[in-house]
Amino acid sequence: MEKVTYGRGYVYSIQYHIVWCTKYRHKILQGKIETVLKKIIQQIAEDNQFRILEIETDLDHIHLLIDCSPQHYIPNIIKALKGVSARLLLKSHPEIRRKLWGGHLWNPSYFVATVSENTEKQIREYIRGQKIK
């Protein structure tokens, strides 16, 4: 289990498993695009004061395991992750736009689940195994 954090008047340990897909499930998350995306995601987490515990992509989707505080609102975290990453990735790799109609990188939907001490190990292994098939 990730460490327990002590705040002013509260104690917490909050982790989420988050998954979202590219628009039209286009298989574009590979090579330099994947590398840049992971760096962007790490920077977004740092800027918004939450931590990425695990990150892995497959060709058309991304999995994250994040650790955050009770002050974080999950829709805002996902909005920042998807919005900023799309803008920066499309700016650094304009060739992506040719593969996508309408210029959108991400599908608007996402999956999110809370992670407990009983499921954290399995989720970490699942995320790490995304490229192994």
Write out the catalytic residue numbers: 126
H/E element holding 5?
strand 5-7
Among all chains, which residue has been given the structure tokens 């979202």? 20
H helix or E strand, kind and range, residue 57: strand 51-57
Cα–chain center distance at 3: 20
| Cβ atoms < 10 Å from Cβ of 29 | 21
Indicate the residue type of 18: I
